Every structure is written in C-alpha cells, then in structure tokens.
Amino acid sequence: MALAKELFTRLLAGAAVLWAAASLAFIVLQLLPSDPVQVIYGADSTVTPEMRDRIRADFGLDQPLWQQYAGFVSRTVTGDLGTSYQQRRTVVSIITSELGSTITLASLAVLLAFSLAVLATLATAGRDNWLRRVISSLELVSVSTPAFWIGLLLLTFFSFQWPIFPVVGDQGWKSLVLPVATLGIALFGTLSQVMRNEMDQALEQPFALTARTRGLSLWAVRWRHALRHALIPALTIAAETFGALLAGAIITEQVFGRPGLGRITLQAVRNQDIPVVLGVVLFSAFVFVTINIIVDLLYRVVDPRLRARA
C-alpha cells in the first residue's frame, strides 16, 4: 500500500519534471535568432512570400506563441513529437530508428564497466597490497582520461596498427567492441572507486567480524556480505551513467562514426532542426525520470531497511 502510494507520487513528480523540461526547451529555442523557414528550405532565394506563408502555416508557426506552446504540450502528451524540419519524418520515427544502436552501446558499456568494477573491488577491498595499488592507479587513469582519447588510442592500436576491428560504421558485433570498450573503460574508474570505498567500510563493520568468526574466509566475507553493501552506491552511479549515455554518447559515437541518438542530436543542433532537438531533450528527460524510479525500486530490493514498514 505504502509502495503504491509512493510510486504514484514518484510518477506525478516525474510528469512534472517532463513538463518542466519541455517548457524550458521550448522557451530557449524561441530565444534563438533563427528563422524556421530558412532552416526548412535552406538558403534558397526562390522561396516566394506565398510559399513562405504556407510553410509557416504547415508547421503552425503563424499562430501566436502561447498557441504554439499549448499545441506543443498537448501533442507531446499524446506521444507526437512533431515533424523534423529537415528530414520530413516524424521525430518519433527518427529517435526510434537510432535508439536501438545507442541502447546496445550504452547497455554493453555499463555492463562491462560494472563487471570490471566488481572484479576489481572483490580483488582489492580490505587489503593493502601491490595489486590494490596497481588497480587504484588504473582507476585514476580511467577517471582522468577523456573517453574520446581512450577511443582514439584503441582505434590507433586495434584498427590501424593491428586491423582487428573496423575503423568506422556499423558492421555487426565487430564494430561494437571498440566503442563499448571505450565507454566501459571510461566508466569503470568512478564505479570501482566508489564500490571499493563502500566495501572497505562494510568490511570494518562488526557484522564482517561476526562472519569471519563463523569460519568464512576474507574472500567469502567480501563475496557473500560486503559486495551487496557496495552495490547500493554503484547502482546509483551506473543508472545515472546509463541515462547519460542514452542521450549523450555523442563524442564516442562521433569518433567511431556510429549511428545513434548522439549523432542525430548533433545534426539537429547544427541545422537548428528544432522539433528534433525538442524531441531529444524530452526523450532524455523521460529516460532519466524512468531510470530514477526504477533505481529507487531496486534500492528496496538490495537494502531491506528501505522497505516500508508494515
């Protein structure tokens, strides 16, 4: 009962966030000094004033601003994000056609980073030895190196030096390896640092001592007890990063010439294709809201203390 109530509140708050994001994006784009008709037709001087008016009417640009806003919001609620000025396709179809590629990339990258971080944490938490120092240094490198640089290095070695993987384009799983590795490595550092910190703390707790007095090895205490404690902050970071990647793996997608949301966002911004930009903004807001709700539910699964008291 309490859960249903909280879920309802969260959904309501999520809707408010979406509405705020939409309104803000709408306002900002109105302030841009650009003429939509020019965007739609390019710098073609043959457009007659009559044609210009027709185009404005087609896109609803002749209406007063508040009507445009009302229309935008009401269409958005029904899932209609409008039509691209440039591609003459609906924004929804543009996003969905690129989404698959981005989701694959983001999921695999987060999965890779998460696995690496779990391994690193299990191997080094609660210890003070050479392995810990090596892995800590690797994390530091990962945190402080920009993703595109990791990508360029990987390309240099694994595509040019030894042509194992393709340089650009989408050629099945082979072309996924380097982008996934790039993002995964860039992500791993933060995740691993946070998880180990948390696991170090868990291992200092009395329950870890209790577990050891039952005959568990240090390894078993980490695996069976401390890991779950480390999952709580890791979940937050991984989810947030996943959301960020869905909407903005722009640079990595650019480096590897991959299709994806990042690429269409970049194009749309460059061409002032307002409906697409608005669509992407709304989509990112939607992704973040959804992921946050899911993560809040996952916390309850991991940490029973957060479950509502009966």
Partner 1 sequence: MALLEVRDLSIRFVGRSHEEDVQAVRGLSFSLAAGECVAIVGESGSGKSATARALVGLAGDNALVEGSVSLGGRELLKLSQRDWLGVRGRNIGFVLQDALVSLDPLRKIGREVAETIERHRLLPRGEIKGRVVELLTQVGIGDAQSRLDAYAHQLSGGLRQRALIASALSGDPGLLIADEPTTALDVVVQAQILKLLNGMKQAGKALLLISHDLAVVAELADRIIVMKDGVAVESGTPTQIFANPQNDYTRALLAAIPSARTRGLSLVTGSGGEATESVGIVPRLPVLEVGEAVRVFGKRAAVDDVSLTVVAGETLGIVGASGSGKTTLARLIMGLEAPDSGSVTLKGADWSALHERQRRPLRHLVQLVSQDPMSAFDPRFTVERILDEALEAREFDRSSWAERRLALLKSVGLSEAHLSRRPRQLSGGQRQRVAIARALAMEPEILVCDEPVSALDVSTQAQVLDLLLDLKRRLGLTIVFVSHDLGVVQHVSDRVVVMNEGRIVEEGAVEEVLASPRHDYTRALLAAQPRLPEGVAG
CA torsion, ordered 293, 294, 298, 304, to nearest 10 deg? 30
Under 8 Å between Cβ of 242 and 112: no
State the nearest-atom distance from the C-beta of 84 to partner 1, in Å: 49
Q: Which is nearer to partner 1, 89 or 224 (CB)?
A: 224
Residue type at position 180: V
State the nearest-atom distance from the C-beta of 182 to partner 1, in Å: 34
Q: Which is nearer to partner 1, 107 or 236 (CB)?
A: 236
State the nearest-atom distance from the C-beta of 194 to partner 1, in Å: 17
Query: Given the rule CB under 8 A, which residues bind partner 1?
Result: 205-207, 209-217, 220, 224-225, 228-229, 302-305
Q: What is the largest CA-CA distance in the chain?
A: 86
d(CA 52, CA 157): 52
Q: Which is nearer to partner 1, 216 or 250 (CB)?
A: 216
Q: Which is nearer to partner 1, 18 or 218 (CB)?
A: 218
d(CA 130, CA 113): 22
d(CA 116, CA 130): 18
State the nearest-atom distance from the C-beta of 203 to partner 1, in Å: 12
Roughly what angle, to the nearest 10 degrees, separates helices 227-248 and 91-124? 150
Q: Which is nearer to partner 1, 167 or 302 (CB)?
A: 302
Q: Which is nearer to partner 1, 159 or 236 (CB)?
A: 236
Residue type at position 28: V
Strand ranges (DSSP E) for the chain?
A: none
State the nearest-atom distance from the C-beta of 196 to partner 1, in Å: 18
State the nearest-atom distance from the C-beta of 217 to partner 1, in Å: 6
Q: Provide the sign of the torsion angle of the four alpha carbons 185, 187, 193, 199, taken in this order.
A: negative
d(CA 177, CA 154): 10
